[in-house]
């Protein structure tokens, strides 16, 4: 595995000698703009491994995308190669229909330490919940980004990532019930603790996500890519595009 090949894959050509916040922001942004969040392997008869090398081959060599355990594990490897101090964490995704956080930690994220401050890096949540830049781990602090205003809220050792978005403009009425639309302007995305997790912690979840009939990923194919103005998504057979802040305080879904 080669760091320069990874940089070429994500279109990053800036300096990386300093393991500082600016470099982390730039590499993080290039990853989310270049590598799709997708589960197409599940629907193409390809087994998704929990191991790093298959993820590297799939994303870097084969120019594919992946889901969180592939993208964020690859990003963790890049962090290590660049000299950052990081810890992998596990998150529970908010289940909107059930109005609660899923019990198993199915989402992999990374905590990065820079000059005594902790930042959450997550390059693979996808669609409207995708952060573009790492976020400082401070409870209650607003992080205005293109998709909306993100913040962490800490309660009893549990951290919740939430997002305040904008009102949606939907010219096509057939999209009125799309899962891409935030029903609430402020909504939770996932929760996590600061307990370090190794990749073995996620192996059962990775198996569940690609085999269980109860898994969202076995029931629906998903491919989304962030853009400088929003994101594009192919969910099932439906293609759509979101433009953030199309009008002041309004996101456009077409």
Instruction: Give the Å distances, CA to CA, from 159 to 103, 131, 176.
Output: 15, 16, 31
Give me the phi and psi of 193, to 5 degrees please: -115, 175
Query: Under 8 Å CB-to-CB from 56, ≥6 apart: which residues?
Result: 1, 6, 74, 77
**Which residues are identified as catalytic?**
68, 107, 122
Coil vs helix vs strand at 254: coil
Structure tokens at 57: 């081959």
Q: Which residue has the tokens 């193409």?
A: 44
- Cα–Cα distance between 93 and 118 in angstroms, integer? 21
d(CA 156, CA 100): 17
Tally the residues of the chain.
Answer: 254
Three-state SS for 82-139 is: HCCEEEEEEEEEEECCCCEECCCCCEEEEEEEECCEEEEECCCCCHHHCCCCCEECCE
CA-CA distance, 126 to 144, in Å (whole number)?
Answer: 17
Please state, in angstroms and as integers, the Cα–Cα distance from residue 2 to each residue in 61, 68, 161, following that order: 10, 20, 32
């Amino acid at each position: 595995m080669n760091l320069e090949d990874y940089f070429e894959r994500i279109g990053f050509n800036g300096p990386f000698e300093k393991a500082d916040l600016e470099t982390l922001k730039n590499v993080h942004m290039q990853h989310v703009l270049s590598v799709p969040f997708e589960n197409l392997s599940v629907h193409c008869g390809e087994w998704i491994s929990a191991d790093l090398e298959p993820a590297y081959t799939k994303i870097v060599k084969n120019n594919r995308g992946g889901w969180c355990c592939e993208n964020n594990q690859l990003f963790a490897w890049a962090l290590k190669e660049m000299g950052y101090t990081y810890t992998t964490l596990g998150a529970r995704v908010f289940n909107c229909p059930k109005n609660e956080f899923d019990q198993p930690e199915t989402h992999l994220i990374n905590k990065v330490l820079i000059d005594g401050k902790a930042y959450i890096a997550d390059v693979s949540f996808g669609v409207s919940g995708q952060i573009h830049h790492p976020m400082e781990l401070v409870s209650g602090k607003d992080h205005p980004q293109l998709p909306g205003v993100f913040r962490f809220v800490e309660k009893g050792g549990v951290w919740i990532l939430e997002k305040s978005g904008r009102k949606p403009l939907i010219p096509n009425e057939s999209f009125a019930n799309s899962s891409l639309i935030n029903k609430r302007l402020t909504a939770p995305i996932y929760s996590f603790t600061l307990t370090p997790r190794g990749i073995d912690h996620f192996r059962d979840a990775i198996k569940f996500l690609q085999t269980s009939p109860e898994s969202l990923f076995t029931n629906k194919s998903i491919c989304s890519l962030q853009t400088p103005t929003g994101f594009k998504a192919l969910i099932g057979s439906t293609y759509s595009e979101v433009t953030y802040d199309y009008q002041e305080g309004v996101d456009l879904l077409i």
